[in-house]
Amino acid sequence: GDSVTQMEGPVTLSEEAFLTINCTYTATGYPSLFWYVQYPGEGLQLLLKATKADDKGSNKGFEATYRKETTSFHLEKGSVQVSDSAVYFCALISGTYKYIFGTGTRLKVLA
């Protein structure tokens, strides 16, 4: 069945460091791919998405490119801030209404 695999956390970085959170997927067909973020005490919010191969989703300085050849959707940010501290979830939806989520990666950014 469809699945999403994210890198284990927590990830701890200093402010202004470069961030990469790896995400790979297994799916039949052509899924849409998403990154959701969950700030402390809040619900999940859509961060960015990409709906077809080679699309790049971007928002708030975060980027992810849909790589069909490597079945990946890695999240990157060039310079993280303390306010980026949160849990990040990679997800896919493939031909149905069911989202498949990864287990989440906790990011902690130190001032």
Partner 1 sequence: GAGVSQSPSNKVTEKGKDVELRCDPISGHTALYWYRQSLGQGLEFLIYFQGNSAPDKSGLPSDRFSAERTGGSVSTLTIQRTQQEDSAVYLCASSQRQGNNKETQYFGPGTRLLVL
Q: What is the DSSP letter of 83?
A: G
Nearer to partner 1, 72 or 99 (CB): 99
Among 21, 23, 35, 49, binds partner 1 (CB under 8 A): 49
Stretch that binds partner 1, among 16-24, 37-45, 59-67, 68-76 (CB under 8 A): 37-45
Residue 101's identity, in one-letter code, is F
> What is the C-alpha separation between 53 and 41, in angstroms, rounded?
34
Residues in contact with partner 1, shown as a per-residue x/- string from 77 to 106 under the rule CB under 8 A: ------------x-x-xxxxxxx-xxxx--
**According to CB under 8 A, which one of 1, 41, 69, 111 is a site residue for partner 1?**
41
Cα–Cα distance measured from residue 58 to residue 73, given in angstroms and rounded to the nearest whole number: 12
Contact in structure between 97 and 49 (CB atoms under 8 Å): no
Question: Do residues 101 and 23 lie in contact, with contact meaning Cβ atoms separated by under 8 Å?
Answer: no
Closest approach of Cβ 24 to partner 1, in Å?
14
